[in-house]
A = this chain, B = another copy of it.
Amino acid sequence: MTTEQGRGGRPRSEQARAAVLHAVDDLLLEVGYSAMTMKGIAERAGVSRQTVYRWWSTKAEILFEASAIDAEQELAVRPAGDPVSDLAAYLDALGRFLAESEAGASYRALLGEAQHDAAVAQLLGTKDVIGDSARTVIDRAVPHLMESVPADRAVARLVGPTFFWILSGRSRAELVAQDLAAAFVAEIRADAGPSRGGAGAR
Residues of A within 8 A of B (CB): 32-34, 105, 108-109, 111-118, 121, 124-125, 128, 130-131, 150, 152-153, 156-157, 159-165, 167-170, 174, 176, 179-180, 182-184, 186-187, 190-191
Q: How far is the CB of A8 from chain B (nearest CB, A)?
A: 10
Let me know if B125 and A169 touch, CB within 8 A. Answer: yes
In the complex, residue of chain B having the shortest beta-carbon distance to the beta carbon of A182: B191
Name A191's contact: one of B108, B109, B186 (CB within 8 Å).
Answer: B186
Complex: how many Å from CA A174 to CA B191? 17
Complex: how many Å from CA A115 to CA B99? 10
Complex: how many Å from CA A170 to CA B150? 13
Further 13 A-B residue pairs, CB within 8 A, beyond A108-B116, A113-B116, A156-B164: A32-B116, A32-B118, A34-B113, A111-B115, A112-B114, A121-B169, A152-B165, A156-B160, A156-B161, A157-B161, A157-B183, A164-B164, A186-B190
Query: What residues of B have a CB within 8 angstroms of the CB of A174 in the complex?
Result: 150, 152-153
Complex: how many Å from CA A179 to CA B170? 26
Of listed A116, A150, A162, A170, residue having the most chain B CB within 10 A:
A116
Complex: how many Å from CA A33 to CA B34? 13
In the complex, residue of chain B having the shortest beta-carbon distance to the beta carbon of A107: B115
Name A163's contact: one of B112, B150, B163, B180 (CB within 8 Å).
Answer: B163
Query: What residues of B have a CB within 8 angstroms of the CB of A131 in the complex?
Result: 168
Q: How far is the CB of A31 from chain B (nearest CB, A)?
A: 10
Complex: how many Å from CA A153 to CA B179? 10
Name A186's contact: one of B124, B170, B180, B187 (CB within 8 Å).
Answer: B187
Query: What residues of B have a CB within 8 angstroms of the CB of A118 in the complex?
Result: 32
Let me know if B32 and A117 touch, CB within 8 A. Answer: yes
